[in-house]
A and B are shown apart, each in its own frame.
Chain A
Amino acid sequence: MKIINLLVICFSLLVLSISSSAVLAEVIEISFELPDINTGKYQRPFVAIWIEEKNNSKSNQTLALWYDGNKWLKDLRRWWRKVGRYHQQIDSISGATKPAGRYAIKQTVTLEKGKKYILYIEAVREHGNRTLLKAPVSFTDIPTEISLKAGQEIGPITIKLKEAP
């Protein structure tokens, strides 16, 4: 009887642990602007968008990376320090740098229920400035919409989250 009780407890603990680390797929849509900067030395900015698990940045997913040559990738300071220098497999999410304009990125991300995440957007321009914006993203009250104020190198940002179909 005791053994059965113990088994029941173990089983329920197992179920609990599974349900608390359930992996969920969410659709994240990030729309933002690369501002039109009027300078003779204008170079298109490098841009990185990624999600880090709070207090565990080794768990991360890059959603977009726009760059032109590896030499200056390190200038995306946080992205390089947390992500880039450990994961060189970036072909599937990377692309060329883009001119000023409005952009929207839509990606499906897989996240664990109950964990906290932070979305980072970093933009850096040769002869220009660096902007790092971040937003905590909660996956408990979706669908949700978050707005971020513009920085020098990246315009106002809207982040939309909904459950993946």
Chain B
Amino acid sequence: MKRVHTIFFVLCCLCANNAQSHPIWILPDMFNVSTEVGEWVTFDVSGSHTVFGYDKSISLDDLKILSPDGDKNYLGSYFKGHRRSVFDHYIEQAGTYRFSVTKPPYWYTVYKSGRRDTERFMWANKVEAQARLPKKAREVRSVLMDMEASVYVTKGAPSTTVLESRNRGFEFIPVTHPNDLVVGETASFKVTLDGKPLKDINIEFTPDGTRYRDDRLIQNLKTDSKGLVSITPERFGPWYASANHTFPAKNILADETYSVRFITFEVLPE
């Protein structure tokens, strides 16, 4: 039954031409650290439809931690419950860290078959699908789902090493430093594909606490010709931002890649 629901859900999303499973988020207990030596920061991670509510825990085996000097840090043990995952990290260096959670990549294939052109779905990449597709399948399309949620934490003064573009794949990067965002001040973000700016990309911004208000307060914005999007937040607290893009895949396992990037950031009072 659960599987049927999942498939139905994905199909619904496909109809909207925007395949999307549960958005994933990562939320630290603090975004700014002021101790001289170092500080433990704790993080919650979950995939859910409320901002920031718990629903599905996520494996943190692929968690990427980048310290201000640009080096990889390693995660020790972590807790994976039913509804959330939790880890702690010792913030030792001065400057800005990036924490990125990725969902393991997965693929699905859609195609049309039968006299009535029924749209069909299977959990399979392009190669696996070849072996299973009916002979007269039409409009076959295999999609790679690629999701990443990031958050930035700063000890002392902010630094920018971890904000630099990787010039690879779909990226959603803060332009205004994410640990320097204040109510009433403009914050900018940039969207790129292989380092090149992307225009007209839909960006969603939602302030924390959707569970306890009727209006979700989503702001839907679009990137300009330089790939930039700006928002002037009116509420302080944690915010959740997302950007997504579909583009031709670069390997034989898919026709298209559907990339979604999430950023959690904190807006401070004046």
Contacts and interface: CB of A to CB of B under 8 A. Distances in A.
B18 A129 contact: no
Interface residues on A, range: 10 to 19
Interface string A118-133: 0000000011111110
Interface residues on B, range: 10 to 19
A85 interface: no
Contacts of B5: 69
Interface string A97-135: 000000000000000000000000000001111111000
A152 B216 CA distance: 10
Given A40-B16, A42-B16, A127 B244 contact: no
B18 A43 contact: no
Interface string B216-232: 10001000000000000
Nearest to A151: B214
A127 B216 contact: yes
- Most chain B CB atoms below 10 A, which of A41, A69, A129, A152: A41
A129 B216 contact: yes
B214 A40 contact: no
Given A40-B202, A40-B244, A69-B5, A129 B17 contact: no
Contacts of A40: 13, 16-18, 20, 202, 244
A34 B220 CA distance: 21
Contacts of B16: 39-42
A131 B17 CA distance: 27
B49 A129 contact: no
B270 interface: no
A126 B214 contact: no
B215 A129 contact: yes
B137 interface: no
Nearest to B17: A40
B261 to A, nearest CB: 14
Contacts of B215: 129, 152
B49 A126 contact: yes
B12 interface: yes
B49 A131 contact: no
14 contacts: A39-B16, A39-B220, A40-B202, A40-B244, A41-B20, A42-B12, A42-B16, A69-B5, A127-B49, A127-B216, A128-B216, A129-B215, A132-B214, A152-B215
